[in-house]
Structure formats: structure tokens, C-alpha cells
Structure 1
Amino acid sequence: MSELLEVLSAKLDESQSGLAKLDSYYAGTQPAAFLSPKSAEALGNKLRVLSVNFPKLTVRSIAERLQVTGFRAIGDDNADTDLWRIWQANDLEAQSHLAHLDALVYGRSFVFVWAGPNGPRVTVESAKQVTAIFDPASGEVTAVLKKWLSGTTHHAVVLEADKITRYAGKENALQVVEVLPNPLGEVPVVPLVNSGRLLDFEGVSEMADILDLTDGLNKIMSDALVSSEYFARPRRWVTGMEIVEDDDGNAVNPFSSEANRVWQSEDAETKFGQFDGARLDGYGDIVAILTQQIGAISGLPPHYLGLNGDQPPSADAISSAEASLVAAIFGKHRALGRRWAKVADLVMKVRDGQNTRDFETLWKAPDTRTPAQVADAAAKLAGIGVPLVAVLADPMGYSPSQITTIMQGKRAEALTASGADLSAFLVSE
């Protein structure tokens, strides 16, 4: 193997442990961090994993609102229909959601752009199979590796600015299969990085800050179940009754059989009683505190966390409560928008050989709006002279293809209303 392949392979292998941990938290299968052996024994070893899966809720709440609706060249008011057609041809309406999901879980995902049989080919890749080397000075990608297993054969591809090298063979004895020149002059891979700071080239998981709080919450829930199982049910006591022992000298419970619903004794001095069951109110209080802390750190609104009680919030209350979450998503738009714009740039270079335009990514509005609010905002914008195309994009939130269909319909309506006869412009054969 080449030295570059060895370096990239070692980096990919080193990342697997951390990615597997994040996987377990997202799936809710992480081991109980604080479940003691005695607690497990009290539950008959039946409770091995208990997860209140707020990490998954955090990721999905953000990913659901990261929806790309198109691309527009800087200085152009209209969305680029050619780019959107390529986007749909590569099923990126669905795949982009998965890319955002993985970027939020792992801190990064990757988008590959190359030539396909029917035009530019764009694929979304996981950080579990792909790793990259970044220039520490500029943060640009200098080399990318993808490794995967097909049957019993290991495959790898190393992408560089000047060439693309494919490998195959045994895991530690990969052989060069093919070397392709890279006419783009740059690595055709765009990392979607969930970065929190300037030097976070590898990204940070959106779940990172609430993992410990989630473990604490799971511990409290486990304790509550242990108390419910072992202490909360009333315990009875009896005095003045002769203790019967077995052959080994162990006390025999005369009321151990389930059939003995009624306790009775022939001794008049025997007394029966019942201890009070354990109260679980304290657990509820701690659960509420931990849940509030998770909400404060993650930005999830109270009604996502079940903290509003039985009273449903109003539309205005929902908008106010979601302000922190929406602000965070606008931040994701800025960071990920430039990454998707780079994907658009590579798509144009693959298709045309060059690209002289700079693109911006168009997103669906992330805030919660009622149809009445959207219609009212659109009417006011149209009333002050904002072009219909811009109004349809925001606040109406239509995709470029939908806007094109609406504009064609408007033009057809205008022609019909004017009674114009276009037959004179038709050239007869």
C-alpha cells in the first residue's frame, strides 16, 4: 500500500470507536452508565438498557428543518433550474436529508461529485467509510479515502487533486486496480462539517453536550423502576407468630405461595400490618431538572421535551419557544449552505468543464408558520412591490420547480385573460 493510503486508513480506523459510541447513543442502545449490580439484581437482570433518547430527538429536530429547496447564482433573482434537475436526478432531495443527519450525529458526512453515464453523479457518503486530510493552513481537503467491503474483497479509493486511485484485495494487502486522472484540479469531495469553532475541521456531534446529561437521566429513570419494582409495592409484616425453619435452619415464609391471599394465624397474639410504599415523587423532580438542562443546552423547546403538561401551547407560544432552535438552524444554513454551494460548483465543472458563477443555497424556512401567517406575509410583500418569484420562494417556501410551474400558469392565465391570438406567430409547415 502507498504511504498516503496507510495514513488515511489508520485515521479511518482510529475514528471507528468514537463513531460507534455516537451510533449507540443515537440508537438508544448505549449501556446503562450508572446501573449498579445490586440494582440490576433487584430487577432480575431484566433491565440491561434504558434510554430516554433525547440525543436522537435533538438531531432529528434539526435535520427535519434542514431542507434545501434550490440554488441561485449570485446576482440572479431566479433559481437555477438546470442545477435543480441534476439535484433531483441524483435523488438528493432524500439523500441530502441523510447527509445532514449523519453530519449532526458524527460531526461530518461527505458528498462525492464525479462524472456518470447520464451526467454529473453526486453521492452522499458516511464518515464510517470516508475520511479526509485537511490542509491545516486553509482547511481545504487535500486527500480523501473511502473504504468498503464487498463480499470477501476489500475496496478503497483515494481521491487527490490530480488523480483518483482505486484499490482492491485483502484488508492489509490492497493492490492498485486503476489510476484515473482528475481534470478538475481539486479533490471532488465536499465535507459537510457540523463545526462549532474555527479549527473543527472534523466537526462536532450535535449530541456531544447532552450525552452525560442523558446518562444521568437514564440513571434516575432506572432507579425509579428499581424502586417501583422493589420498594413501591406495599410490604406486610407479622408479629407473634412462631418462626418455622427448614432442615438448613433457614426461616420459611408461611405466606410465600401465591394461593395464600388471606393471612391467618391460630395464635390470638399474632398481629398483622403493612409498611407504607416508597414514594417516587423525588424521582420526578430530578427528571424534570435534568430534562430542563437538556432543553437549555440543546435549544429544544419545552413542548418537544414534554414539559408543558396537559395544556397545548398556542401558535404564538410555539414560535416564541422555538426561537433558540430556529436561530441554531439558521446557523446551520450559513455553514452547510456554503458546502452545498461548493457541490453545485463541482457539478457545473463536471458538466461543463468550468464554472464562472458563484452559487448560494436556498433553504426552506425553518420556523413554524401557520398558513394564515404565510399568506399574510406574502400578501404584504407583494403589496410593496416584491417580485412574485421572490414571494413564492420566501415566505411561501415553494421549490424552484414549483415556482416554475406557478409562473407558467400565471403567464397562461394572463394570455387567456387578454384574449391574445398567437396563431399569427405560428409558422406553418
Structure 2
Amino acid sequence: MPLDLDPLAWVRRLAEAHDRQMTQLQLWNAYYEGVQPLSYMAPELLMEVDDRMRQVVINWPQLVVDSLEERLDIEGFRLGGADQADRDLWDDIWQPNDLDEESQLAHVDALAMRRSYVIVGAGDSPGDPPVITVESPLQVYAERDPRTRQIVAALKRWQQPQADGGAEDFATLYLPEATIQLTRKGAGSDWEEIGRDEHRLGTVPVVALVNRARVADRDGVSELAAIVPLSDAACKIATDMMTAAEFHAMPRRWATGLADDDFKDPSGRPVSALSRIAGRVWATRGDSVKFGQFPEANLSNFHETINSLARLAASLSGLPPTYLGLATDNPPSADAIRAAEARLVKRAERRQRAFGGGWEQVMRLALLIRDGEVRPEAERMETIWRDPATPTYAQKADAVTKLFAAGLLPKEQAWEDMGYSAAQIARMRAMEDDALTRLTAADLHALSTAPNGPAAPIGSPTAQSTVSGWSADSADG
């Protein structure tokens, strides 16, 4: 792979590779948003009902992604050798970049569209924290070295509306030694360099959060890949059900002995054949006039088909059946609910491990930009995730209390296992230190005002015997 390309050659190379994937990325995005085209529908039927009926979208793709993303919450980072979360990374880097909220967006895009990206840059002024932004795969593409699997170049493209109603194209090329800004006036014109930052980091400041990477495909796999065919089938069946409800669920009337001129609207104009069908009246010509009606259709076959597709979607996605509306007459017990969520919890843990490596790389890049180096303990950084399981608060508290009482769990780890964030743990530790300080001050005051006179210096035998509540005279007794 040529790594000595000039910037414009890199832009063309990355843009062409990105364009080849753009159609599929936009399709995954459409499925997540629920605006995908209708599948499995005959074109003739679409032409017949297109002006009267919309597609019924059963948005299982969004359910699959959101149910997994809701269990991916980052609570801090722990440096190698430390027993608690690092406050510097959380307070000075993570929080100023609003990554509590932005990380959720990155996870959604990675789950739905195979991957998302995080870009790290220097602040606007000296002393400002590094700037970290999450990016959509619809705008960013990165190329990896096939030997090291590391990103060797990345490109971000976007359009900015202009006052004349047109749009100007912008791009940023990220290389190991520099970041280059480019622009062009139209799709057919050449890119022009408008700015350059010679950061000399020795690495591309772009990190990919990849969902379900494969050995031969580091770009990942969408969580929607297995669900989309079932979702298409469910949307088609639901649309058919609405069509059947429109034409067959209600009793349809028939009439004989009537001519086309007998069907008129309130203004006296003839009613079209389609309007008569929509009005559920079948009419034929004849010598005598007769009226009647057909029996209505039963829609249960549609219901059973959708339920069957939902069961298949649950088995492929790992979602509990209740998430897809497959409820039973008897509500499940708490143990049954946890058992049904076992696969979903394990999938969330797998995503935590994959995404955690990417976020650790992001924080190391931020330290490199801010401090000019990465400390050895930062190389062994660990991402702290919230427990993706859903035990009750009482169950979790009971388990943590027993482990702490048995001496198997330090207090800081007990707080972390209970789900407290790094900021909450720091506040509780400060409260504990403050309470200890006040207690020590109260003890010293009590010793100094004792009836026998001023207390002996701390550490003397007299002070120790007073604090412990006994003296040599009382011991003789």
C-alpha cells in the first residue's frame, strides 16, 4: 500500500473508497430511521394503492439497535495500577467535550452502520482541553494498514450551504504528521488546500469504533444485517393487513341491475370505478335490481405471520420476546425476565469490550495532544462501564454488602459495583474524609477540656489510656 501519496492523491483514494460504501451506509441509516423503501410488494399493487395508503413500518431495526445501545454507558477510565477511576481524564477531558451524550451517538451509528469515528484535536488556545468529536460514517472514512491494522489516513467530507443557494464542499485529510483542510466549488472541480496543521503526532488522530469486526473485514458488520429481511417481511405483511382491512375486513355490498350512471357524487358527477370499490360496492348491469353483501374477511392470518416473524427476529437479535410484543397471559417472574435477557446482556458485554478499546485509544490521543506524551500507566488504561444486566437494586445491594462484609471487596469497588459514577464516588470519599476530620477535631476538643486538665500529647501513654476509656488507677481496681 503506497503511504507516500501526496494529499490530493489521498483525498481521491479515500473518497472513491468511501463512495463505494455510501449506498449501503445510507440504506442502513434509512432502516434505522424507519424510512426504508417497501419490499416484497407487487408493483401493480403499489400503483393501485399508492395514492390512498402509506407503508406500515414495523421498526424492528431501531428496536434492536436501541435495546443494545441503552446498556452501553461509560462511567470512567482507570489507569494501569490504579484502584479507582482517574479524575483528570473524566473532569478535564471527557466532560468538557460532552462525551456523556456524544458517546451515545457514536454507539448508535456504530451499531447501525457498522462503525463510527472519533476525531481528536488540539484546543483553540493554549491550556484548553483537547477537542474530541464523534463523527458519522456517512461523512468519514479511514484506511488501515493491512499489516498493523492501524489507521494510516482518514478523510472527512461535508457540504456547507452558501448564500446563493448553492453548496461548497469541504474536506479534512488526517495524516500521521499533519491535518490538511481542503475545499472545492463544485463536484467537478479539483480540491484546493486552504489550511494545514503540522501536528507531528506520528499517528492519525482518528479512532474507529467498529461493531462486530471480522479478521478479514475490519470495517465491521451492522447489527441490522440479520434483522432487515425479517423487518421487510413484517412491514409487507402489516401493509397487506391494512389493505385487507380497507377492502375486506368490513362487509362489502353488491348490487345488480345498476348502470354506471346510477353512481353519482353529491354534485351529480359520475363516481369512478375505484371510488365505488373503495366504497365497498360491487355493481353489475341486469334486468332486475338486487342488493346484498359479502361476509367480512378474518385478519388472523396476518397476525400469526407477524408473530412468527417476531419470534425469528427475537432469536436472531437476542432480544427477549416481550421486547417484540410477544406477551403471554401469565406475566413472567423476575428470574424468567433475567434469563430471557441473558443473550442481550452478553451481547452488550461484547460491545463494551470492543468499543472500550476504541475509547481508550481516544483518551491516549487526548493525553498525547495535551501533554506531548503518553504515560506508561495510560498504556494499560481500562474503560469502566455500567453493568449491562438488570438486577433489582435490592439484589445488587445485598450481593455487594455480603462481599464487602466478608472482606472480598474494597469499599471503592463496592461503590463502583453499585453503579455510582466516578464523580459520585469522589464526592462520597470527600464526605467520608470530612466526617473523619470533624470526628478527630471533636475528640481533640474533648481531650483538651477533660476535668483532669489538659490532655497529654497525642501518642503518649496517658492520652492513649484516656482515649481507650481506662487509666492505670481503674485498671488496678
TM-score, normalised relative to structure 1: 0.88
Aligned partner of 2:178 in structure 1 is 163
Aligned partner of 2:59 in structure 1 is 53
Deviation track 1:202-240 (CA, whole Å, cap 9, x = no partner) reads 1211111111111111111111111111112112346xx
**Partner SS, residue 191 of structure 2:** strand
Aligned partner of 1:133 in structure 2 is 143
The 5 A counterparts of 1:254-273 are: 273=292
**Partner SS, residue 431 of structure 2:** helix
Which of residues 306, 322, 326 is equivalent to 1:287?
Answer: 306
Computed over aligned residues only, the root mean square deviation of the Cα atoms, in angstroms, reads: 2.8
Residues 1:338 and 2:357 aligned together: yes
Aligned partner of 1:389 in structure 2 is 412
- Structure 1 window deviating more from structure 2 (310-319 vs 377-386): it is 310-319
Q: Is the 8 A contact 2:181 2:193 kept in 1?
A: yes
Gaps of 5+ in 1: 262-266, 425-429
Q: Is the 8 A contact 1:39 1:226 kept in 2?
A: no
**Partner SS, residue 294 of structure 1:** helix
Q: Is the 8 A contact 1:145 1:159 kept in 2?
A: yes
Aligned partner of 1:361 in structure 2 is 383
Give the partner amino acid of 1:92: L
Q: 1:173 to 1:383 in 2, by over 3 A?
A: same
Q: Is the 8 A contact 1:68 1:361 kept in 2?
A: yes
Identity %: 38
* In 2, Cα distance between equivalents of 1:196 and 1:376: 38
Q: Is the 8 A contact 1:30 1:49 kept in 2?
A: no
Give the partner amino acid of 1:101: V
Quote how far apart the aligned CAs of 1:44 are: 6.0
Q: Is the 8 A contact 1:42 1:226 kept in 2?
A: no
Aligned partner of 2:96 in structure 1 is 89
Quote how far apart the aligned CAs of 1:76 are: 1.3
Quote how far apart the aligned CAs of 1:89 are: 0.7
TM-score, normalised relative to structure 2: 0.80
Q: 1:312 to 1:43 in 2, by over 3 A?
A: farther
Aligned partner of 2:245 in structure 1 is 228
Which of residues 88, 95, 106 is equivalent to 1:99?
Answer: 106
The 5 A counterparts of 1:21-420 are: 21-40=27-46, 43=49, 45-85=51-91, 86-116=93-123, 117=125, 118-151=128-161, 152-171=167-186, 172-237=189-254, 242-244=257-259, 246=261, 273-309=292-328, 311-355=330-374, 356-357=376-377, 358-385=380-407, 386-394=409-417, 396-418=418-440, 419-420=442-443
Give 4+ residue runs of structure 1 displaced > 6 Å after superposition. none
* In 1, Cα distance between equivalents of 2:100 and 2:145: 31
* In 1, Cα distance between equivalents of 2:25 and 2:190: 25
Q: 1:3 to 1:242 in 2, by over 3 A?
A: closer
Q: How many residues align?
A: 409
Higher Cα radius of gyration? 2
Aligned partner of 1:264 in structure 2 is none
* In 2, Cα distance between equivalents of 1:243 and 1:53: 46
Quote how far apart the aligned CAs of 1:46 are: 2.5
Quote how far apart the aligned CAs of 1:38 are: 4.4
The 5 A counterparts of 1:4-23 are: 4-23=10-29
